[in-house]
Structure 1
Amino acid sequence: MGDRSCSQIDSRLEQLLIWRVLKHTSRWLKTIIYASFVGGIGLGLFLVYLKSHPLPPPDIHLATKIYDDQGQLINQAEQGKPHDPIQLDSLPKHLIQATLAAEDRTFYQHAGFSLHGIARAAWINLKSGEIVQGASTITQQLARNLYLTHDRTWARKMKEAMLTVQLELHYSKNQILQLYFNHIYYGHGAYGAQQASHLYFNKPVRQLSLAESAFLAGLPRGPEYYSPYSHFDHAKKRQEHILDLMVKNQMVSKKQAEQAKQATISIIPPKKVVHPSTRANYFRDYIIRTAIMEYGLDENLVRHGGLKIYTTLNSEIQQQAEQAVTKYLQDQGDLQGALVAVDPHTGHIKAMVGGKDYRQSPFNRAFAQRQPGSSFKPIVYLSALESGYTPLTKIFSRPTSFVYQGGIYQPSNFHGQYPNRPISMREAIAQSDNIYAVSTLFQIGIDRVIDAAKKLGIKSELRPTPSLALGSYAVTPYEMAQAYSTLASGGVFHPLSGIVKIVDMDGHVLVEEKRSAKQVTTSGHAYVLTHLLSSVFEPGGTAHRVRQIFTRPAAGKTGSTDWDSWLAGYTPDLVTTVWIGYDRGKKLPTEKTRIAQYIWASFMKQATSKQPTRIFPIPPDARGVYIDQETGYLATPHCPKTRMEYFVKGTEPVISCPVHPMTHSGHSEEPSLWEKIWNWFQQ
């Protein structure tokens, strides 16, 4: 009886518990159903609202304007957005398939957003620990390109989402795809597949092969990074990846894809129309590339976002640079040149010329890697001074074989001419003696020179071989301008810059240049080297011709190889590097090598004409003393040939010349008034 009563009580408790659970579940279920109903109605009303409201007119692409250091307009990023529309049914099937495989393989299945793409991108980004892949669908990309900038704000993301839904509501999938192919940016001013096909392949888009279609489909992901002109290897690898995706999605067979990978991609040279009112076109291209690659701004925004880019360029100096290059190269056939001028106190680029005619060749040779020859030697000698050498350090210059781990190195002087005697560092620099340079390299250590080059701003690869001393490894005129600017500024490294700030259409500052300077060598070492480099322009120096045109205090170094001629030099307030040579491995005749000196001298004369004439300021850690040129000892009033030589303080000679002593008698005597004055001056 007791057991039955307990059992009945338990049963009732279970029923009560179940009833309460059902009651609460029903309440939550009702809430969920109600919320879903209300949400569904809200979503439906929102979609009706978006459907009933027409899409806004596409954002007009406004050319970004570029200004000089005086705030004067000098150029535009593009001259306007070209338009060359095409119908979807006129596009080759392979281009459509390649684009879908590369950008949005579920385009025809989703309603504007790809959950699969979002999940895949999130997983890849999670594994890499950074954002390396986006998940934008073709519709989202179209919304962004038609109506929005590419800044990464939540407000822009919300607008993009709304516009994506509107595009899906107002247009069919084929219409969206057609708009995409007519508006997407393929790089180098080409909007739309038709124009891109003409730009890169010089043919209508309908004639593109599978290989060309896959190549073209890869460009919108990063028009600068995948530029066929600047980074063909990047574009080719992306083409091959897209072909693999097409095989995976059963769009082409594996055999077709392999054949397309092996097919030759022939890109025609770029054809750019230069507006007659624009200036500094090579510099403009550099500025655009910097804004995109260094500061991470979207290329479409940079070119067509109506930005204002304030730069360091001086229009008057730029014009003088272009005139000097044109004057000496215009009648020299296909001989080319480059010039970079910099303010050493700030690192601001004041002029940049990348070739003698931008309309014929927009390739910027200021960033072309060429062998610097002897213009690299000042880096060797800076390392030597830092290692304890002085301007008086002598090395025997004669035919010499240098034994090193890789074999035997036998450099030679120009025209096989050797002093066949010990020469000082000043003589070696003025006459560009190769034996002295290589001997110095071996004595101080190759790694020390490579380290010095890096701290001065050389980023190109330098290998630890004896030929390094003679400038055998290619660098760019831009890098050489950076290195010489550091010497001219007293050893202070100011990173070269061309942009002061970038402002958007609403006046918001997107970029403001604030690079920090760094002392990379002492002011004494920089000054002593500068004083030595002034000998290059003196009679007997390799750039003595410069003095026929330019007479201000200056320092510099020539450089020549079978293919190149350089002059890099500076005054206290302006650094200029000039290179001349041929683009395609053609040897440079010896008689043309001096053209670099004439360009440099002509430009520097004009560019410094409004600057006060100044000597290089002597820093506290440098000291000048008169030395006897014959012996290298402190000069006396009786030394026939003397010169003021500068040393890092503490390394100057302290012993008077024994060959021409202060007195000529064998006993001590009271020094003359002149000798007293001389002794006081030497203290």
Structure 2
Amino acid sequence: MNQRSGDPDNQSGSQTGERTAPATGGQAGDGRGRAPARRPFGSRVRAGLLSVDAWVDTAIWRLFSSLRSGVEGYSAWLRRFRARGAGRVAAELASDGVTFGLLGLIVLLTLAQDAFQQTERADWRTTEDFSVTFLDRFGNEIGKRGILLNDTVPLEEIPDHLIKAALATEDRRFFYHFGIDVMGTFRAMMENVRARTVVQGGSSITQQLAKNLFLSNERTLERKINEAFLALWLEMNLSKREILKLYLDRAYMGGGTFGVAAASEFYFGKNVRELSLAEAAMLAGLFKAPSKYAPHINLPAARARANEVLTNMVQAGFMTEGQVIGARRNPAVAIDRSKERSPDHFLDYAFEQVKELARTRPELANDRIVTVRTSLDPGLQRQAERALLDNLRQHGPRYHVEEGATVVVVPETGAVRAMVGGKDYGESQFNRAVTAIRQPGSSFKPFVYITAFMNGYSPASVVPDAPISIGGWSPRNYSRGYAGPVTLKTALTKSINTVPVRLAQAIGRDKIVEYAHAMGITTELLITRPLPLGVAEVTVIDMAASYASFASGGLKVTPTAILEVRNSAGEAIYEHAVNRAPPERIFPEEKAGEMNEVLVNVVENGTGRRARVEGVTAAGKTGTTQAYRDGWFVGYTGNYAAAVWFGNDDFTSTARMTGGSIPAMTWQAIMEYAHKGIELRPLPGVDRPPRAPDEVPVVGTGADRPRLLREQSIAVLEEIGARLDAIGKRVEAPVSASGEPVAQ
């Protein structure tokens, strides 16, 4: 009879074929076929760990043995190729070159991370499709934005001679390099060295496109590094034809136009498909310097440049001399726009505000063909441009300063009346008035003083001007001397450095940052020991708006360029006066009055004396940063607030330029014009007789006209008009033979 397999006494002989494992720990069975007792759990864990440790030790030993054998074998192999003499020197140099090249590549990649982050935008290839017509505050057209960038013409329909002209002039090896034309760059360097000046550029079309899409025009090493890496990125993600199309659509062509299609309409009044060879050569000449060669500004220079482009086409083998001779003899004739001048930096700023407004107002987002009445005063804009350029030409070489920016705003309303973002929009579209962040120097001190006034101090409070050290940092005065106990009014008038540092220690730097942000500073302010002396980063427009809060009596002033927006049907869909929020009060009017009293003294008796305007009560503060890199004057009257900055884009030092020199003189020239023929409003807290605040705009936009008239002037004009009417009636009345009027 078969035994059951489940019988514990007969498992060894069961039909399942199972066998009992022999005892391993020296423990025998019970003699009846039973399994030995299991070892304790701790013993089994220790045994397992010892096994793992042995395996790891063995693996490591074998790995290092293999590496040692490999290194020994590689060394033995290299000994067969041991170089001597000149060969060894070349090998060593090549090895070091590869090592340092790899290190340099790692450093460059690190610096280019910011640029690559911009490529993560999903819409980097698209453009805003707004069609915006901008008007000044009086309703006159001042420019357009949006469809002036016309990218609707396919590359196949752009004339072949225009493409050849662009390639021959900008990048002849475009279809053969990988984004960076090494040979072209070397050739351009040699030509520049031979001519001892910059006569050729080394940037390829791909590099120029990378700058246009992602970067600014600042001439810095970091920008060139980012440009090179972005060019490689574009080459990997786009075809050559796509890159060429984007370049022809995005390059700035002068006159506020971007791309060859928009430029063709602007300069010649025709579709780009209809361009002649002479016109194509003139457009291709604009890529290098649109402001210099724009035909509506300098037609002879534009024609000379077009002739160079034709020569380039012949030298590149794209055309023969016989094919271009007709274009040389019959140069292009552009539409005369010499009298037109657009405030392009202001228009860029206003256009950005339109796009920002569209994000919150669906009626604007749905209808993108709009007309915008801006706050720009064309006369004041021209004066701001003239003042900045005149001072740069006259004093720039002396002080080694190349750039400047200014913003003029109106207190309370925040309407920007003028904006100059740089000396030449054609050379650089970078708006230094809005985008550039620079250290304000002593022009930051009013933020410290108003915070002190809000925490128990007053202009008459006495604080010692004496040496002070904070954690090893010891600020010094510009004069290198100390005045002893001084009032806050005197300290700010003389721009003493130790006093605001002591105030910051007493009231807290965090409170200063809070008030600065509340007044209108939008950039990040790091809480550091030198913060009270202006070691921070701000923008020109933020400084102008912040100082305007003093003139408004403590109300926050938010800058804006838009007064009204109308859709394609002519209906008003936004009005700033109606839709804007009520101004926020930052500090009481009496505290604003105390600040005004001090800053008026700065202009009349302190560092800002060059900013005085005859017959106008003005207040303000100068600012000069370390190593004379930046010069500021920020000031205001009862009518206007303005900020002026001068410096260099590459942050190099000027020749000891202070805020009381070019910046103050430029501010004075702007404000002197701005206050002609208007009612002067008093500053809160300043002892001046009040004036009527009513302002009446004058029709017209002439540069030399007064923009506003007093009520008394209007009354005089009305009286003169009435008398002229009376004289006219007497002349027209019938008379008798004796010469007496005939009764009617």
- Contact 1:550–1:601 (CA under 8 A) maintained in structure 2: no
User: Would the alpha carbon gap of residues 198 and 346 (structure 1) be closer, same or farther in structure 2, given more than 3 Å must change?
Assistant: farther
User: Would the alpha carbon gap of residues 210 and 183 (structure 1) be closer, same or farther in structure 2, given more than 3 Å must change?
Assistant: farther
Check if 1:291 corresponds to 2:259: no
User: Would the alpha carbon gap of residues 432 and 182 (structure 1) be closer, same or farther in structure 2, given more than 3 Å must change?
Assistant: farther
- Contact 2:376–2:561 (CA under 8 A) maintained in structure 1: yes
Mapping of 1:5-20 within 5 angstroms?
Answer: none
2:448 aligned partner, one-letter code: V
Check if 1:554 corresponds to 2:618: yes
User: Would the alpha carbon gap of residues 606 and 425 (structure 1) be closer, same or farther in structure 2, given more than 3 Å must change?
Assistant: same
Alignment partner of 1:566: what SS? strand
Write the distance in 2 (CA, Å) between the matches of 1:586 and 1:481.
Answer: 24
Check if 1:396 corresponds to 2:464: yes
Write the distance in 2 (CA, Å) between the matches of 1:319 and 1:521.
Answer: 35
Alignment partner of 1:568: what SS? strand
Write the distance in 2 (CA, Å) between the matches of 1:531 and 1:195.
Answer: 63
1:480 aligned partner, one-letter code: M
Write the distance in 1 (CA, Å) between the matches of 2:163 and 2:372.
Answer: 27
- Contact 2:602–2:619 (CA under 8 A) maintained in structure 1: yes
Check if 1:384 corresponds to 2:448: no
* Distance apart, 1:305 and its partner CA: 6.7
1:600 aligned partner, one-letter code: W
* Distance apart, 1:586 and its partner CA: 2.3
- Contact 2:519–2:557 (CA under 8 A) maintained in structure 1: no
Paired residue for 1:373? 441
User: Would the alpha carbon gap of residues 241 and 316 (structure 1) be closer, same or farther in structure 2, given more than 3 Å must change?
Assistant: same
Write the distance in 2 (CA, Å) between the matches of 1:208 and 1:308.
Answer: 45
Check if 1:515 corresponds to 2:583: no
Structure 2 unmatched ranges of 5 or more: 1-128, 182-203, 240-286, 298-336, 688-744
- Contact 1:380–1:449 (CA under 8 A) maintained in structure 2: yes
List per-residue Cα deviations over 1:190-221 (Å, max 9, x = no partner). Answer: x99x989969x9336953755579x999999x
User: Would the alpha carbon gap of residues 206 and 284 (structure 1) be closer, same or farther in structure 2, given more than 3 Å must change?
Assistant: same
Paired residue for 2:65? none
2:423 to 343, 347, 356: 356
2:649 aligned partner, one-letter code: D
Paired residue for 1:529? 595
Question: Larger radius of gyration, structure 1 or 2?
Answer: 2
Paired residue for 1:602? 669
Alignment partner of 1:65: what SS? strand
Check if 1:580 corresponds to 2:646: yes
Paired residue for 1:437? 500
1:202 to 126, 145, 170: 170
2:610 to 520, 538, 545: 545
1:350 aligned partner, one-letter code: R
Paired residue for 1:413? 477
Alignment partner of 1:466: what SS? coil
Write the distance in 2 (CA, Å) between the matches of 1:467 and 1:71.
Answer: 47
Check if 1:66 corresponds to 2:131: no
Write the distance in 1 (CA, Å) between the matches of 2:156 and 2:564.
Answer: 33
- Contact 1:373–1:470 (CA under 8 A) maintained in structure 2: yes
2:593 aligned partner, one-letter code: Y
Query: What TM-score do you get using the length of structure 1 for normalisation?
Result: 0.55
Write the distance in 2 (CA, Å) between the matches of 1:316 and 1:555.
Answer: 23
User: Would the alpha carbon gap of residues 468 and 207 (structure 1) be closer, same or farther in structure 2, given more than 3 Å must change?
Assistant: same
Moved more, 393-402 or 426-435: 393-402
- Contact 2:597–2:685 (CA under 8 A) maintained in structure 1: no
* Distance apart, 1:550 and its partner CA: 3.6
Alignment partner of 1:492: what SS? coil
Paired residue for 2:636? 570
- Contact 1:490–1:527 (CA under 8 A) maintained in structure 2: yes
1:362 aligned partner, one-letter code: Q
2:608 aligned partner, one-letter code: A
Query: What TM-score do you get using the length of structure 2 for normalisation?
Result: 0.51
RMSD: 4.3
Alignment partner of 1:409: what SS? coil
Alignment partner of 2:467: what SS? coil
- Contact 1:225–1:234 (CA under 8 A) maintained in structure 2: no
Write the distance in 1 (CA, Å) between the matches of 2:601 and 2:575.
Answer: 40
User: Would the alpha carbon gap of residues 208 and 496 (structure 1) be closer, same or farther in structure 2, given more than 3 Å must change?
Assistant: farther
Paired residue for 1:473? 536
- Contact 1:345–1:573 (CA under 8 A) maintained in structure 2: no
List per-residue Cα deviations over 1:642-663 (Å, max 9, x = no partner). Answer: xxxxxxxxxxxxxxxxxxxxxx
User: Would the alpha carbon gap of residues 245 and 578 (structure 1) be closer, same or farther in structure 2, given more than 3 Å must change?
Assistant: closer
- Contact 1:291–1:297 (CA under 8 A) maintained in structure 2: no
2:666 aligned partner, one-letter code: I
Paired residue for 2:195? none
Write the distance in 2 (CA, Å) between the matches of 1:195 and 1:530.
Answer: 60
Write the distance in 1 (CA, Å) between the matches of 2:618 and 2:475.
Answer: 29
Paired residue for 2:384? 321
Write the distance in 1 (CA, Å) between the matches of 2:377 and 2:157.
Answer: 36
Alignment partner of 2:644: what SS? strand
Write the distance in 1 (CA, Å) between the matches of 2:575 and 2:389.
Answer: 34
1:565 aligned partner, one-letter code: G
Mapping of 1:164-243 within 5 angstroms?
Answer: 180-181=154-155, 202-203=170-171, 206-207=174-175, 209-211=177-179, 226=214
Paired residue for 2:307? none
- Contact 2:409–2:640 (CA under 8 A) maintained in structure 1: yes
2:134 aligned partner, one-letter code: I
Write the distance in 1 (CA, Å) between the matches of 2:377 and 2:453.
Answer: 35
Write the distance in 2 (CA, Å) between the matches of 1:182 and 1:212.
Answer: 25
* Distance apart, 1:544 and its partner CA: 1.8
* Distance apart, 1:477 and its partner CA: 0.7
List per-residue Cα deviations over 1:476-520 (Å, max 9, x = no partner). Answer: 111101111122111111311001233343325565443322112
Write the distance in 2 (CA, Å) between the matches of 1:210 and 1:306.
Answer: 40
* Distance apart, 1:475 and its partner CA: 0.9
Write the distance in 2 (CA, Å) between the matches of 1:515 and 1:204.
Answer: 53
- Contact 1:553–1:614 (CA under 8 A) maintained in structure 2: no
User: Would the alpha carbon gap of residues 223 and 291 (structure 1) be closer, same or farther in structure 2, given more than 3 Å must change?
Assistant: farther
1:207 aligned partner, one-letter code: F
Check if 1:617 corresponds to 2:684: yes
User: Would the alpha carbon gap of residues 297 and 234 (structure 1) be closer, same or farther in structure 2, given more than 3 Å must change?
Assistant: farther
1:495 to 558, 561, 573: 558
User: Would the alpha carbon gap of residues 372 and 581 (structure 1) be closer, same or farther in structure 2, given more than 3 Å must change?
Assistant: same
Alignment partner of 2:530: what SS? helix
Paired residue for 1:310? 373
Mapping of 1:129-148 within 5 angstroms?
Answer: none
- Contact 2:380–2:417 (CA under 8 A) maintained in structure 1: yes
- Contact 2:596–2:684 (CA under 8 A) maintained in structure 1: no
Write the distance in 1 (CA, Å) between the matches of 2:164 and 2:580.
Answer: 37
User: Would the alpha carbon gap of residues 218 and 444 (structure 1) be closer, same or farther in structure 2, given more than 3 Å must change?
Assistant: same
* Distance apart, 1:180 and its partner CA: 4.9
Write the distance in 2 (CA, Å) between the matches of 1:528 and 1:431.
Answer: 17
Paired residue for 1:675? none
Structure 1 unmatched ranges of 5 or more: 1-60, 83-144, 147-178, 185-190, 248-267, 623-683
Alignment partner of 2:416: what SS? strand
Identity of aligned residues (%): 28
- Contact 1:503–1:510 (CA under 8 A) maintained in structure 2: yes
